[in-house]
Structure 1
Amino acid sequence: MTTKLPGRQVAIAVVVAFPLYWMGLGAFKPAGEIESDRPRPWTLSPSPDSFRRVFGQQEFGRYFVSSLVVAGSVVIVSTLIAFLAATAVTRFRFRFRLTLSIMFLVARMVPVEALSIPLFFQMRDFGLLNTLGSLILPRIAFSLPFAIRMLRGFVKGVPEALEEAAYIDGAGRSRFLRQILFPLVLPGLVATSVFSFISARNDFLFAKSFIISDTSQSTLPMALLVFFKPADPDRGGVMAASTVMTIPGLVFFVLVLRRLVSGLGGAVKD
């Protein structure tokens, strides 16, 4: 039995996918076509020259590795902290628990731009300017409120009777967290990790604010500035670099797609 997608969903999918198509098309267009006054949504003479310029950049590989380090660190640390914090807020009874939960929501309402200058001085006082730590720490902090709020529903969905049965069978708290609760809330962990990965990998504001002069610590979003010159912008290079930046996110998304769907379903139920 086959199911037909409604025309509305197809239209939305086309609108969402068109920027990606245009980016990939621009990466393969020759210079004459991409700079033409009459752009066309196709090309009859694709060229890999833009990708050659991107990979020909001496520092591009280092940018790529730095982005993976930042995104991977943010995902692992924020997911672990969010899991423990969501468990504490959901399972334990303590003073100011409701206040703490409200603070998680309030923290998400603060514009990131409003904190860039205070964070700059804080990173300077910590001696982390021009290091990847100045990107990792703020991104962990900004990922936690959303991750904790999202994981609360998954932890709450695990019956307390299961926890009591584990304790009766001799399992300690750490064993219960590691062997029982963690596998049960894994779809939620995957869903939150995807959002953390995307926000950390696409970070441009903090990279521009905190990494000032040390190009060896730059990330992929900063690499776009190499090709974007106000006087003579390399549009093909920008498109090709953006395409390369998109690939790790797509690969990560495809690998966790099944658990991501179930995780988002659990978040909606919360």
Structure 2
Amino acid sequence: MLAVVGILAFTLFPIYFMLTTAFSARASSGTDNLIPRHLTFRHFTEAMSSGFSHYLVNSAFVTIAVVVISCLLALLGAVAMARFRFRMRTTMLVLVLVVQMLPAEALVIPLFLQMKDLRMLNSLIGLTIVYIAFALPFAIWNLRGFVAAVPVELEEAAYLDGCSWFRMFRSVLLPLVTPGLIATSAFSFVMAWEEFTFAMTFLSEDSKMTVGIGLKQFFGAHVNDWGGLMAASTMVTIPVMVVFVLAQRKLAAGLVAGAVK
């Protein structure tokens, strides 16, 4: 029991420290903020007025686009991989897995040159395309297990009742793979919302920055705005917590159900 409490305290302490510094009236960061005497929302208002709200809007646009497009494409790809038989099907599955294993840092320079040739540098649309490319391998591989777990007889029964393929897909297959779709959406959300490396590499204008890069504005050459930094970090953390709290049941069921056929 003591070990569990110790691990839990060790895990939650950074979050507690972030919140106490964000709400503390003192601007410094250290042990003097562990138990703040005076609470204030000043750091939040100053962070929003400094332009961080614009970074939140940019990240929201990119993240929503990544989640919607990647899940749609991944679901169609998973259906094709699980239901249709075609040449080089196994090879494509292996290639999807290999792409998933590649570290993102190894692809920064090739993707930068490709985006440069496509004239999509310093563009939120270009950054969205890159995120979708990285989200798709895991999404396809994960959703394929859910589609394969659905009995083919259910689809055949729908065809016998006069359903077209799209009607069967909407009324039969889609509701059964919804837990897997929610799990995939949650991981795509976290990947796009908190990503830093590609956003830092591809974006240069301040108006196009996302929250990962926006946190840098609180670091100065000689002085750091710890209160503003922790307030902004809190605002970045809240959407992730909300997504996982709302999707926790479907997320747990989806991760388990996808491995059982």
Q: TM-score, normalised by structure 1?
A: 0.90
Alignment partner of 1:163 is 2:171: no
The corresponding residue for 1:87 is 79
In 2, the alpha carbon distance for the partners of 1:246 and 1:209 equals 23
Question: In structure 1, what is the equivalent of residue 191 of structure 2?
Answer: 199
Residue of structure 1 equivalent to 2:19: 24
Q: Which residue of 209, 215, 222 corresponds with 2:213?
A: 222
Task: State TM-score, norm by structure 2.
Answer: 0.93
Show structure 2 runs of 5+ residues with no match: none
- Aligned partner (choices 97, 100, 110) of residue 108 of structure 1: 100
CA distance in 2, matches of 1:170, 1:132: 43
Q: Deviations over 1:196-228 (max 9, x none)?
A: 00010001111110011x211111112111101
User: Could you tell me whether the CA contact under 8 Å between 2:67 and 2:188 is conserved in 1?
Assistant: yes
Q: Does 1:48 align with 2:2?
A: no
Percent sequence identity over aligned pairs: 44
Contact 2:21 2:227 in 1 (8 A): yes
- Aligned counterparts, 1:94-243, within 5 A: 94-212=86-204, 214-243=205-234
What amino acid is the match of 1:155?
A: V
Code of the residue aligned with 2:211 in structure 1: it is L
Change (3 A) 1:100 1:7: farther
Instruction: Give the aligned residue type for 2:13.
Output: F
Summarize deviations over 1:215-269 as a string: whole Å, max 9, x none. Answer: 1111111211110124211111111110011111222222222211211221343
**Cα deviation, residue 89, structure 1:** 0.5
Matches of 1:10 and 1:150 in 2, distance apart? 33
- 1:96-128 C-alpha deviation (Å, 9 max, x unpaired): 111111111100111101111111111111111
